[in-house]
Chains A and B, each alone.
Chain A
Amino acid sequence: MTDQALSNHIKLPEGNLHKQTTTMNLGPTHPATHGVFQNILELDGETIVNSEQTVGYIHRAFEKLAERRPLYQITPLTDRLNYCSSPINNMGWHLTCEKLLGLTIPKRVDYLRVIIMELARISDHLICNSIVGVDTGAFTGFLYVMQYRELIYEIYEEVCGSRLTTNIGRIGGFERNFNDIAFQKLEKFLKEFPGVWQEFENLFNRNRIFMERTQGGGPISAEKALNYGMTGPNLRASGVDYDVRVATPYCSYEDFDFEIPVGTTGDNYDRFMVRNGEIWQSLRIIEQAYQKVQEFKGAAADVFHADAPAYYLPEKKDVYTKMEALIYHFKIIMGETEIPKGEVYQAVEGGNGELGFYLISDGGRTPYRLHFRRPCFIYYQAYAEITKGSMLSDAIVTLSSLNLIAGEMDA
């Protein structure tokens, strides 16, 4: 072979011929990773010796985009963070704005928001847990519960018109009142879903194969989990009962009676069980909230937004007939409303943990700086450590039980 021909070959890294381990790319688009994740694994047989995570494949520069948008146009950006539970992100953003603007939100709006957020939490955990099932070889549960996520999406559809990336609610409340069909659909969901979820749990919780597959996989101690910045179900699976809904209640969560399920070892099984527990708690919260919503009668039942004319779009018929409404309409749509100066940090309990919004306003029409504290991005760092020494197939289960969402990670 000539030198020329040799130089056309891909150069191997030094020591490559003698090394005893195999380098393997898991992802970026491997079907088992359920999203755009790349893990460069160093494998000894099937055991992971070392791994490196590459993130950022779907980075969309939301923080930069947000610096040029009026507040209401940032809501659709937040949809695309954790797209399994976009309503929670939307509400988190509205709460951030409302805190900065100093708006008081009527109780009924709070309760409606709680209903929507808890539905979102259920749909988030439902996906995560059924995917854990798929990755351990049980496909049935996934297909079965997916029908019931559909019911949740139909409720969103009734409220805001869209399903996955919802852009639900507005600063100050909701874009429209919940109609009767929405409540009927909610009732249908509350009636049908518990039985289904019970059946799902019967298939998994005490299933010998499932338990042996998930117990002891990807464990993390409470101390480590905190040090790695874990929050949400993953932290609670390690035994720390930190939940933003209880620690710093927002949206009148203090009015509800619910428990925080915690685990002990922080392994895949515990994470699965904590999410199962949270689904039941979410159902409890929704039932209470629905009851509270029904207590509003007459004019009080028509309240679906705060009285904040400068930030909440006026009714269309007023825009056509009243000068003031027309002005506000124009100013809001064109993004010509100055937002007060200030720095605010607002956290909500997202599907994956503490979803934080750090908003700096310099008194202009758009945020001066907006930073999303994305729980996924922060706790994914722990993945390398907790999968070290485990089998490749268990690392896949760990990946899905951490509920990593590429959209949230890469922002």
Chain B
Amino acid sequence: MALTNERIQEKLVEKFGDQLTGWDTQFGMLSFIAPKESNLKILQHLWDDEELGFKFLTDICAVHYPEKEGAEIAVVYHLHNLSDNVRLRFKVFAPVAAPDVYTATSIYASANWMERETYDFYGVNFVGHPDLRRILNVDEMDYFPLRKEFPLEDQTRVDKDDEMFGRGGSYN
């Protein structure tokens, strides 16, 4: 019998109880929110449990929500059960002042660079990561560019004389 979202939710609730919140199945993908301390336990359980069997890590990325005080940085895990072809997503939230989250590299080799990328852009400190360095940006960079406090240039600004690129100057 194919694994359904309801069954996954039931099994996870059975194991982790009300630690897991924010259940949702938007666009057919089961998603929930977990406390950041138990991310490894959840990943390990999803891997170990014979019925669940989420053994493929699709993606790790982060999102910055500046307005959620004390839980500004969300780390998002996308997992895939290839034999039953079910995907799920879960988030853990960490404060931007100390974004420490346990690394998943002990479970998935692929988590290594994904976590480095997440660190590079959001500064998430993956505790226990073997080689947490910047990966896409230059090593000298001293900020985390995808955080929301670094806005891209406002495209409607007019104070900048930038005739070569058709903005401001005599083009207005």
A residues near B (Cβ < 8 Å) are: 55-56, 59, 61, 63-65, 67-68, 99-100, 224, 226-229, 240, 242, 247-248, 342-345, 347, 354, 356, 358, 360, 368-369, 371, 373, 377-382, 410-411
Contact = CB atoms under 8 A, between A and B. Distances in A.
A155 B82 CA distance: 35
Interface in B20-38: 26-27, 29, 31
Interface stretch (B3-11, B92-100, B105-113, B159-167): B105-113
A68 B152 contact: yes
A377 B61 CA distance: 13
B114 A248 contact: no
Given A56-B135, A356-B58, A382-B109, 12 more contacts: A68-B152, A100-B27, A228-B110, A229-B57, A229-B114, A342-B26, A343-B27, A344-B27, A345-B27, A358-B59, A378-B113, A381-B109
B61 A229 contact: no
B109 A64 contact: no
Contacts, number: 89
A410 B82 CA distance: 27
B61 A371 contact: yes
A410 B112 contact: no
B153 to A, nearest CB: 8
Contacts of B87: 345
B110 A229 contact: yes
B55 interface: yes
Contacts of A59: 136-137
28 contacts: A55-B135, A56-B135, A59-B136, A59-B137, A65-B152, A224-B109, A226-B82, A227-B110, A229-B108, A247-B85, A248-B85, A342-B26, A343-B26, A343-B31, A343-B89, A344-B26, A345-B27, A345-B89, A347-B58, A354-B58, A356-B58, A371-B59, A371-B76, A377-B117, A380-B113, A381-B110, A381-B112, A382-B109
B78 A227 contact: no
B121 interface: yes
B63 A360 contact: yes
A187 B109 CA distance: 45
A278 to B, nearest CB: 19
A358 B61 contact: yes
Interface of B: 26-27, 29, 31, 55-59, 61, 63-64, 76, 78, 82, 85, 87, 89, 108-110, 112-114, 117, 121, 135-138, 145-146, 150-152, 155
B27 A99 contact: yes
Nearest to B63: A369
B148 to A, nearest CB: 9
Contacts of A356: 58-59, 78
B146 A228 contact: no
B136 A410 contact: yes
Nearest to A224: B109
Nearest to B57: A229
B110 A67 contact: no
Contacts of A360: 63
A242 B27 CA distance: 22
Contacts of A377: 113, 117
Nearest to A411: B136
A333 B55 CA distance: 43
Contacts of B117: 377
Contacts of B64: 369
A63 B136 CA distance: 12
A224 B64 CA distance: 32
Nearest to A227: B109
Contacts of A410: 136
Contacts of A240: 82
A374 B144 CA distance: 20
A342 B109 contact: no
A371 B118 CA distance: 11
Contacts of A99: 27
A282 B86 CA distance: 26
A86 B81 CA distance: 28
A225 to B, nearest CB: 10
Nearest to B131: A52
- Nearest 9 interchain pairs by C-beta: A229-B110, A56-B136, A371-B61, A59-B136, A68-B152, A373-B59, A227-B109, A369-B63, A228-B109
A28 to B, nearest CB: 13
Nearest to B64: A369
A274 to B, nearest CB: 17
Contacts of A55: 135-136
Contact of A378 (B85, B114, B150): B114
